[in-house]
Amino acid sequence: MDEIEQTNKMKILEELQKNGRASVSEIAEKTGLSRQTVAKIISNMEKKKEIWGYTAIFDPKLVDKKPFLILGKVDFSLNSEELLKKVTSFKLIDEHEKKYGFKTTMFLNGSSDIMIILWAKDTIEAKKFINNYKKLFSENVKIVDLYEGMATFRNNGIVNPKIVEEWNNLLI
């Protein structure tokens, strides 16, 4: 990919990040590219699975949930092939998304090896997930820490429009 194509791709991705519902015409206008160029680049990125999907960003309280962050320490040296099968199983990923409200999961480089952001009704529901997680990966999971999100200031690059209210609620 040449430099111009990469620059155009970055412009389009920045606009999609701001508004995933923007039309090709709107993106073309904001980036200075033609509609045909925008449509072709988006289509190619979707085909190559570079764009994973489109979503609405909203306060989890709207669906009676709270955000939780889980950090874990994992021993990758034990039964690594079985561990890899489990963590990359689309069936298991889909089940966990439906059952536990997974929002983000990633492997880390640092003092923790894995991070999971999920939405749960309360701490008890989040701890039930942790217990199931420990059972499923009992051989590999060494440490799991749970944190409840108290206020979201930014999500996927979008500033919480109620940031002042959320901050004030934390201080009172």
At 78, which CATH number?
3.30.70.920
What is the tally of structural domains in the chain?
2
At 9, which CATH number?
1.10.10
User: What is the per-residue pLDDT for 16?
Assistant: 94
User: What is the per-residue pLDDT for 1?
Assistant: 66
Clarify whether residues 43 and 64 are in a common domain.
no
Clarify whether residues 95 and 125 are in a common domain.
yes
Average pLDDT, the chain: 90
User: What is the per-residue pLDDT for 103?
Assistant: 87
**Which of 2-16, 86-100, 158-172 reaches the highest mean pLDDT?**
2-16
Q: Is the pLDDT of residue 81 over 90?
A: no
pLDDT tens track for 106-137: 989 999 999 999 999 999 999 998 898 888 88
Clarify whether residues 65 and 17 are in a common domain.
no
Domain with 100 in it:
60-155
Domain-located, residue 54: no
Domain-located, residue 164: no
Contact between 145 and 126 under an 8 Å Cβ cutoff? The reply is no
Clarify whether residues 74 and 27 are in a common domain.
no
Burial (Cβ within 10 Å: 0-12, 13-18, ≥19) of residue 115: middle
Of 9-13, 91-95, 152-156, least confident by mean pLDDT is 91-95
Domain-located, residue 160: no
User: What is the per-residue pLDDT for 139?
Assistant: 85
Residue 155 CB partners (closer than 8 Å, separation 6+): 57
Clarify whether residues 23 and 70 are in a common domain.
no
User: What is the per-residue pLDDT for 94?
Assistant: 82
pTM: 0.81
Domain-located, residue 105: yes
Percent above pLDDT 70 for the chain: 99
Domain-located, residue 37: yes
What CA–CA distance (Å, rounded) separates 79 from 92?
Answer: 18
Clarify whether residues 73 and 150 are in a common domain.
yes
